[in-house]
Chain A
């Protein structure tokens, strides 16, 4: 019952659901509760010694690599982007089906998704390491086949920073992570400076799926919004991507609505939603599919994503 939206965005499970899902499923499934516990543990990112590389992934497993891996498979779009941003694109030999940036990865073998990764093809590619998200079902299977799996989380800005550090160490260029992160931070700050003063503190509803799921304060999108100086109608207490009662949004009367352009176009037709001031006064940011994809990837392009949101807010500020 994990909403596919979550798999597709390579984020964690919405917290309300997680509580519920854990209550039901983790009872019988020991490894799953291990995952849930692992999610909560803040772990030191990495350490490295002379020639061999020692990494500690999300599960706390210490992994020692004799040499920096030359053949890498990434099963998470955001991690694919991170590897490429760290100049490791040439070492990727395969990705999941959603990885689409940079354009060069489109030519690589597509190995399925989190739940239906093609084990045989992955094994045939002889990867030195496979990058995966905690929810991936393939982890155990791959490891039992003797393939090393590095499990990395991409839920918050801090996760992204940590993953970049781990990946940079993995690629043998540990010093590359910091400048890259600094560049992301610079872009976010630049975006924040561009937000019109009149729009600061305005309350935003950012929809990630029509069911409706929203990006709350606790999500990386929420963190970006906070850095831009706008408020969020979904408090952090509700978890990163809660499935909300549609009534909640009508009651909250957000000042600004952000979503992918297609769902935004039909939003006014939902029962009661024609009363939303933001929709009536067109105080909305609708993102085209490619731009929206950029927004929901917790990776090295987060700075670019912040600039894109700022662009919309600047245009909104010019409205009469």
Chain B
């Protein structure tokens, strides 16, 4: 069996096993709640199942956008938040929180279907797309990679600063902002799962189909152009896919750290392959990673929870450090 095949099976098995672990891990430690009616059935069907599935989907979308970002920029340090989507989303979230605090109301991440949650989710999604759009405008489209990257970094810094300014003017928004920055999977509902699944099903085929563009890009821009690819146009489509996937994930679960950065590395480390494979495997790896982090976050000190973003940062950061150490040793 080839290395790629083995990795694919491993990721599939990890997804299934972690999914089962997600269903079995709850506020009373590890237990297998019974299906059917009653409290246990309710907890399984309304809380654990959507949360588990939602965490996998958010991780998958981040893994997918990480693979696209690293292929697009030919940079192993690129992550999905690079083009201003994270800062745009967090600015929008702070704006909504500050406005609602000033208006005397309050919105929160916890409401599943309420208007409040819709407001925050919508704002984060629009903000993420807005950040990327601003980057594209400043870079005058997606013609030059370096210009695009630079514009993304600048937009990120400026929008983050604006968010800070707004938060210091309206301290009531700080709590919600913190929750958003750390990422949270606590209140993922079937509604969230629906959005995430629809997004993944729409974006994944496009990304897979465009993987050949990423392959061509890997040879260098000149070679890609000489192959007859309409690079600017395809790059724009890839940026759009990246922005949509990131925006969806971020709007449902906040800025979960490191998943998008680490997943493609994980895949490339174990099975170097053309982008078609990397994109798919990175999606599965991202899902498995965030689901593992979610299970750890809720089981380590149950019934208390760790912020899931902290767990992914520790897991992902640890992996990156190990990678750097290995590379230097080698």
Contact = CB atoms under 8 A, between A and B. Distances in A.
B is bound to A: yes
Contact of B303 (A3, A5, A248, A253): A248
B27 A248 contact: yes
B39 A275 contact: yes
Interface size class of B (residues with CB under 8 A): 35 or more
Contacts of B51: 271
A211 B174 contact: no
A68 interface: no
Contact of B304 (A244, A253, A262): A244
Interface string B172-186: 001101110010101
Interface stretch (B74-82, B109-117, B134-142, B259-267): B109-117
Interface in B172-227: 174-175, 177-179, 182, 184, 186-190
Contacts, number: 126
A242 B304 contact: yes
A251 B39 contact: yes
A247 B26 contact: yes
A289 B27 CA distance: 30
A194 B18 CA distance: 51
Contacts of B178: 3-4
A260 B298 CA distance: 25
A5 to B, nearest CB: 5
Interface residues of A, number: 42
A269 B111 contact: yes
A250 interface: yes
B110 A212 contact: yes
A16 B50 contact: no
A31 interface: no
Contacts of B104: 289
A267 B112 CA distance: 9
Contacts of A98: 171
A263 B26 contact: no
B117 A269 contact: yes
Interface stretch (B7-15, B86-94, B123-131, B305-313): B305-313
Interface in A237-265: 238-239, 242-248, 250-251, 253, 260, 262-263
B153 interface: no
Contacts of A245: 26-27, 186, 298, 302-305
Contacts of A267: 110-111
Contacts of A289: 104
B56 to A, nearest CB: 16
B110 A263 contact: yes
Nearest to B50: A271
A250 B42 contact: yes
Given A243-B305, A260-B106, A272 B46 contact: yes
B27 A247 contact: yes
A116 interface: yes
A210 interface: yes
A16 B28 CA distance: 16
Interface in A1-50: 1, 3-5, 7-8, 14, 16-17, 19-20
B110 A266 contact: yes
A105 B106 CA distance: 26
A271 B305 contact: no
Nearest to A212: B110
B190 A266 contact: no
Interface string B97-115: 0000000111011111110
10 interchain residue pairs of minimum CB distance: A248-B27, A262-B106, A272-B46, A266-B111, A210-B108, A16-B304, A248-B303, A271-B189, A4-B174, A245-B27
Given A238-B303, A267-B110, 18 more contacts: A1-B182, A8-B171, A20-B306, A238-B304, A245-B186, A245-B304, A246-B47, A247-B48, A248-B28, A250-B42, A262-B105, A262-B106, A271-B51, A271-B187, A271-B189, A272-B43, A272-B46, A272-B47
6 contacts: A14-B304, A210-B108, A211-B110, A247-B48, A267-B110, A271-B188
